[in-house]
Amino acid sequence: MQFIDLKSRHQLIGGKINARTQQVMEHGQFILGPEVREVEEKLAQYTGSKHCVTVSSGTDSLLIALMALGIGAGDEVITVPYTWISTAEVISLLGAKPVFVDIRPDTWNMDETLLEVAITEKTKAIMPVSIYGQCPDMDAINEVAKKYNLPVIEDAAQSFGATYKGKKSCNLTTIGSTSFFPSKPLGCYGDGGALFTNNDELAEKFRWIRVHGQVRKHHHPILGINGRMDTLQAAILLEILEVFPDEVQKRENLGQTYSEGLANIEGLETPSIREDNTSVYAQYTILAEQREEMQNYLKEKDIPSVSYYSVPLHLQPVFKNLGHQAGDFSVAEKVANQCLSLPMSPYLTQEDQANVIDAICT
Ligand SMILES: Cc1ncc(COP(=O)(O)O)c(C=O)c1O
């Protein structure tokens, strides 16, 4: 059994992907070719967002978002300690300070009730993460942001395709940022990412920054990076997008089957999905009090599992300068100590899933 099955989809649509990529090889516009614009239009349409700007990765996407907002030395950006390092890394790369607020014990997303007290005069943005495929309470976060006139960036690297109150992730606030890393819900065949906004000025800045701050040929009024997504990846995404709605449905069904099968087991917590949310289950993650034992036991049965972010960001050596210690963010620490992700992908078979559930239940 594979932890994430990336091969089955290729077996299904590999022929179409080959035909699309062949077209790119023949027209030869490998950088910002027509497929890039085409996929941006489709992605914007899917999320309901006015603009989509594709970029080189989910990390560069966050970096470009912060650069477009003018964030730099001395600024503070509020985010969570339980996430992939990119979220806070980009803040520090720009000389700003990541300010952590703890996560909620139910959804493992930013605890919106702790947000307001973290705001200072230096706060320039709020960056919640839609962890494991589920959005945080964006209305509550947006309300606090509005009160202090702050932009919000949804780090939606794991939640493309999810919904919050019927609206699509990536189109819930000032900026949505996602990743097309292969194992993500909408993954391409290499690195890629995208920015979403309804703000014309921001969208224009994203486009400038992804080509070295170039506004027109050889004219660079602002700093930028080499942040473009390859035309080949855009062509691949165009084909994957055709099957994506079906994959989202499959993910949701698999998530529900896991949660039903693993309900009411002592020492084990299944993910809690808010009533007004749908999750794309980028990972199906449980909390296990005896995590190590469970992981070893699953390994004996040839069932792969992974503990993501088992050291939360405030305890990472690279952020030592922030002066945090164990106990500062107790919910993030508990989740980091107990989280265990089980095999998950739209093509996980019923039989394999039943084996995982049986193994844990017995
Ligand atoms: C929450 C989160 N943010 C950002 C990223 C960065 O995306 P990428 O790997 O495409 O740079 C990831 C992906 O690993 C992620 O999970």
What pLDDT shows up at residue 362?
Answer: 84
The finding on whether 341 has its CB within 6 A of some atom of ligand 1 is: no
C-alpha of residue 264 to centroid of ligand 1, in Å: 32
Report the alpha-carbon angle 272-286-353, nearest 5: 105
User: What CA–CA distance (Å, rounded) separates 180 from 229?
Assistant: 10
Helices (H), the chain: 7-27, 34-47, 58-68, 86-93, 138-147, 200-209, 231-261, 291-300, 330-338, 350-361
Is pTM beyond 0.95? Reply is yes
Using a pLDDT cut of 70, give the percent of the chain over it.
Answer: 100
Mean pLDDT of all residues in the chain? 97
What phi and psi values does residue 197 have, to the nearest 5 degrees? Answer: -160, 160
pLDDT one-digit tens code per residue, 292-307: 999 999 999 999 999 9
Taking 90 as the threshold, does the pLDDT of residue 241 lie above it? yes
pLDDT one-digit tens code per residue, 21-54: 999 999 999 999 999 999 999 999 999 999 999 9
C-alpha of residue 28 to centroid of ligand 1, in Å: 29
The finding on whether 227 has its CB within 6 A of some atom of ligand 1 is: no
131 Cα nearest atom in ligand 1: 1
Comparing 362 with 94, which gets the higher pLDDT? 94
User: What CA–CA distance (Å, rounded) separates 255 from 302?
Assistant: 21
What pLDDT shows up at residue 88?
Answer: 98
**How, if at all, do strands 76-79 and 97-100 pair?**
parallel
pLDDT one-digit tens code per residue, 192-211: 999 999 999 999 999 999 99
The finding on whether 252 has its CB within 6 A of some atom of ligand 1 is: no
Question: What single DSSP character describes residue 110?
Answer: B
Among all chains, which residue has been given the structure tokens 């093509």? 347
Contact status, residue 122 vs residue 74, Cβ threshold 8 Å: yes
pLDDT one-digit tens code per residue, 115-172: 999 999 999 999 999 999 999 999 999 999 999 999 999 999 999 999 999 999 999 9
